[in-house]
Chain A
């Protein structure tokens, strides 16, 4: 440990990894006969060139902040929660139930209830894998994968057979009543006399996501529980020796993680769609893995990585519109490469860099 200066560990290595991922992605774009530089220009312009672009970029980023924080919190306890997709889906169900069946007079009352319901439903789905890991030693990666599929089957069943609005074909719920409508970025901008794109889905949930970042930072680095989570993640035997209960830490960490993923439902279900549709998560749960890895499991890093992926998602959509040869799936390739280089091939960059810094320091002495 400590063979690298801190700035190299938190900034240089992630940037090199990201650059490698982008270079390989550029080669793919080149292979299908398009100009990668031009593609990047279109993506950047589409993502941040207008308030409309920003509205989408930040909307996606809000989703990814929640799922990224979910993965990051679990990483601190050395638990790999790959079930963000299912937990976010179930969180969306909780949000939808609260919005549909309680006649809210105003969104300021509906929002806290929706936060509670989303967190509760997300945590509930994480509870079973957490308990199985803590008590029975069943590998949490496998159980959370299985629960993604179980949750998706459950949601399809509920939408098709129970929650579907009567008399319509598509499996989605009725539109939420007016009292549960969250203020959009357009509304909020008009409060302070600014103009913001009306069609972008960005809404007040973005600020809740920022609050969640601060809360997670406080939890992990400023509370006793956070200390216990980190201690448990560094070394389970040492944590047990220090009197930390592994069952409790596993359970609590996973419940927090599931709750954070569940909060995504506020943004996508209540803020954007204003109804529950099939697959409301759309892969954001998996993007959370890439975001947490890039952000080095730190809330500030998660925020920046989520912003980057928000730009990728919005820019990728624009790119497909301008250049149909580069389809939206390019995002999946970039995402896969980012996960590969920052997560799995980290040592490929780290090992030579450590050698380099060792030699530099030797020379300075």
Chain B
């Protein structure tokens, strides 16, 4: 593998890691507040569809972004009503949202565009364009650093950079603000938070809405940044990979970045090379596709650094039990 190929694969890994990253952070906020969310996949898919549709109608990707986030937040609120207000089973609610999203996106898409569930190809201002960072072209000639800066770091859409900013912001919110402290507390011991006079329900709904907004960014990037339009089932299990990354990262923002980059890199390598030789053994691409899940199971098994979820996760809060 030469240097240019390495840069190309890493560049592709960054793009593929971005939707994972947004979805992973979305799950992080939700699960840290004690709401399990296996509906990340459905929220991503819904926002991918609605962002692409609105971008196709209006020609503005920013309006698309708004619509995508709106759709995702709407589904997140259904999840919130089911799991917070009506104390339903959070896992079942997540499953339901995934089905709803995969059905509604195709049916409404067919009704709006009659393209077999797809949206029209997005062009120009209807997509997030690549941004060339300052001096990228001037520095390209510099050995090693030049290509890294010009091809790897520069030339992504704004959402890729926003993804990295979201990691820092999430860390700051969770560990350096009063809201973050309360959010983490409500996922560990909601009774204590309630006793302190802070609304458990309010905090959890806030976390759910943040989760919806971030999933909206993930789906919007899928349909308007990574691809140029929506196709059915385009989230293709990324919501579950993000869930795996979240466990892999042990519910921490910094590790979430590393996990998503790792899983993005695996996907990029799987796309680029059909077969990979490791020490003379041929590794099939299906193994590369399954690797994120296998790694997560290993981490979950606790053989390599145990992953312990937030203590109150999945439990509806009942005042004065």
B104–A345 contact, CB under 8 A? Answer: no
CA A142 to CA B243, docked complex, whole Å: 8
Supposing A82-B91, A153-B289 touch, asked if A343 and B96 sit within 8 A by C-beta, the answer is: yes
A340–B78 contact, CB under 8 A? Answer: yes
Supposing A149-B240, A327-B110 touch, asked if A139 and B300 sit within 8 A by C-beta, the answer is: yes
B91–A345 contact, CB under 8 A? Answer: no
- A-contact 0/1 string along B80-99, CB 8 Å cutoff: 01110011111111011111
Interchain Cβ contacts under 8 Å between A and B, 25 examples: A28-B104, A32-B107, A132-B300, A142-B247, A146-B294, A146-B296, A149-B293, A150-B294, A154-B290, A156-B286, A157-B286, A327-B107, A329-B103, A332-B103, A332-B106, A333-B107, A336-B98, A336-B99, A339-B96, A339-B99, A340-B97, A343-B88, A343-B95, A344-B82, A344-B92
User: A residues near B, CB below 8 A?
Assistant: 28, 31-33, 80, 82, 128, 132, 136-139, 141-143, 145-147, 149-150, 153-154, 156-157, 160-161, 286, 289, 293, 325-327, 329-337, 339-340, 343-348, 351
Query: Cβ of B141: which chain A residues have Cβ within 8 Å of it?
Result: none
CA A289 to CA B98, docked complex, whole Å: 13
Query: Cβ of A340: which chain B residues have Cβ within 8 Å of it?
Result: 78, 82, 93, 96-97, 100
**How many A-B residue contacts, CB cutoff 8 Å?**
151
B125 at the A/B interface (Cβ < 8 Å)?
Answer: no
Query: Cβ of B290: which chain A residues have Cβ within 8 Å of it?
Result: 149-150, 153-154
CA A333 to CA B300, docked complex, whole Å: 32
A329–B95 contact, CB under 8 A? Answer: no
CA A345 to CA B36, docked complex, whole Å: 16
Closest to B79 in A: A344
Of the listed residues A139, A160, A293, the one surrounded by the most CB atoms of chain B closer than 10 A to its CB is: A139
CA A340 to CA B94, docked complex, whole Å: 9
A344–B287 contact, CB under 8 A? Answer: no
B284–A32 contact, CB under 8 A? Answer: no
Minimum distance in angstroms from A159 CB to a CB of chain B: 10
Supposing A28-B104, A153-B286 touch, asked if A344 and B297 sit within 8 A by C-beta, the answer is: no
Residues of chain B from 283 to 320 with CB closer than 8 A to chain A in the complex: 284, 286-287, 289-290, 293-294, 296-297, 300-302, 309
CA A146 to CA B293, docked complex, whole Å: 5
Query: Cβ of A331: which chain B residues have Cβ within 8 Å of it?
Result: 103
A145–B240 contact, CB under 8 A? Answer: yes
CA A138 to CA B297, docked complex, whole Å: 9
A139–B309 contact, CB under 8 A? Answer: yes
CA A347 to CA B86, docked complex, whole Å: 6
B297–A330 contact, CB under 8 A? Answer: no
Query: Cβ of B297: which chain A residues have Cβ within 8 Å of it?
Result: 128, 132, 138, 143, 146-147, 150
Query: Cβ of B232: which chain A residues have Cβ within 8 Å of it?
Result: 329
> Which are the 6 A-B pairs with shortest beta-carbon distances?
A336-B99, A332-B103, A344-B93, A333-B103, A336-B100, A343-B92
CA A156 to CA B284, docked complex, whole Å: 11
B4 at the A/B interface (Cβ < 8 Å)?
Answer: no
- Which of the residues B38, B286, B309 comes within 8 Å of A145, measured between beta carbons? B38
Query: Cβ of A286: which chain B residues have Cβ within 8 Å of it?
Result: 95, 99
User: B residues near A, CB below 8 A?
Assistant: 36, 38, 78, 81-83, 86-93, 95-104, 106-108, 110-111, 117, 232, 237, 240, 243-244, 247, 284, 286-287, 289-290, 293-294, 296-297, 300-302, 309
Query: Cβ of A351: which chain B residues have Cβ within 8 Å of it?
Result: 86
CA A337 to CA B92, docked complex, whole Å: 11
A32–B111 contact, CB under 8 A? Answer: yes
B107–A345 contact, CB under 8 A? Answer: no
CA A217 to CA B244, docked complex, whole Å: 36
- Which of the residues B81, B98, B104, B300 comes within 8 Å of A136, measured between beta carbons? B300
Query: Cβ of A337: which chain B residues have Cβ within 8 Å of it?
Result: 96, 100
Minimum distance in angstroms from A3 CB to a CB of chain B: 16
CA A154 to CA B291, docked complex, whole Å: 11
Minimum distance in angstroms from B226 CB to a CB of chain A: 20
Supposing A138-B300, A335-B99, A337-B100 touch, asked if A343 and B243 sit within 8 A by C-beta, the answer is: no
CA A307 to CA B81, docked complex, whole Å: 30
CA A331 to CA B106, docked complex, whole Å: 11
Closest to A21 in B: B96
Query: Cβ of B301: which chain A residues have Cβ within 8 Å of it?
Result: 132, 136, 138
CA A147 to CA B286, docked complex, whole Å: 14
Query: Cβ of B106: which chain A residues have Cβ within 8 Å of it?
Result: 327, 329, 332
Query: Cβ of A143: which chain B residues have Cβ within 8 Å of it?
Result: 297, 300
- Which of the residues B90, B95, B101 comes within 8 Å of A289, measured between beta carbons? B95
CA A337 to CA B108, docked complex, whole Å: 16
Closest to A324 in B: B110
Query: Cβ of A326: which chain B residues have Cβ within 8 Å of it?
Result: 107
A141–B96 contact, CB under 8 A? Answer: no
Closest to B78 in A: A340
CA A153 to CA B240, docked complex, whole Å: 15
CA A334 to CA B104, docked complex, whole Å: 10
CA A93 to CA B38, docked complex, whole Å: 28
CA A333 to CA B98, docked complex, whole Å: 10
